Amino acid sequence: MQDADRLIDLWHTLPRQNGESLPRRSSLSIAAIAPILSHCWQMRWRNGTDFTIKLMGEKLIETWGRDLSGKNLFTALPQPYCDTLNRMVAPLFAKPCALIVTRHLKKGKGGLYEFSNLSLPMLDTDGDACVVFGMSQVTQLAPERPYSGKLSFVGGEIKSARFLDLGFGVAEADFLKTTA
């Protein structure tokens, strides 16, 4: 995934407060991610109740066909998909690690896209482990017909997923067989 190493390296350089293992979101400057900002996103995660998109880069808005900033996905998506999100995100905080997931998603009538996503755990300004920051890369695999609809969150097949060691080991989770 292009620029993933760059974002992970930046994550490692962010300051930690009082011996915290995770950086606070407030320590990440927009200037530091300016070259990749259009592909970046930030979400607030509270297990089972809240997965609110706080920031969505311009390229992602263009790809998804809508700006989802401020939306709580747990109130908008089917329960099986929300369960998969929880199984993917919880390990990021249990043993601080990164996650790269690649899915195939359909858009409109016939377009097929490969959606690769890097997720990194962070703390909010109060020190709560509930911020997921990352970036996404979208590659078109099959052309769309003339109608161009919105890219769908649901129904995509997870093609690969792997946790990356950020210096604390790697979490264990089994969600690869889930197609939410």
- 138-155 pLDDT per residue, tens: 887 877 655 455 555 555
Between 176 and 26, where is the model more confident? 26
Percent of the chain with pLDDT over 90: 37
Phi first, then psi, for residue 119 (nearest 5°) are -120, 135
Fold classification of 4-10+33-165 (topology level): Beta-Lactamase (3.30.450)
pTM, 2 dp: 0.85
Q: Are the beta carbons of 119 and 98 closer than 8 angstroms?
A: yes
The predicted structure's pLDDT at residue 160: 84
- Compute the distance between CA of residue 100 and CA of residue 106 in angstroms, rounded to an integer: 19
- 79-91 pLDDT per residue, tens: 887 888 888 888 8
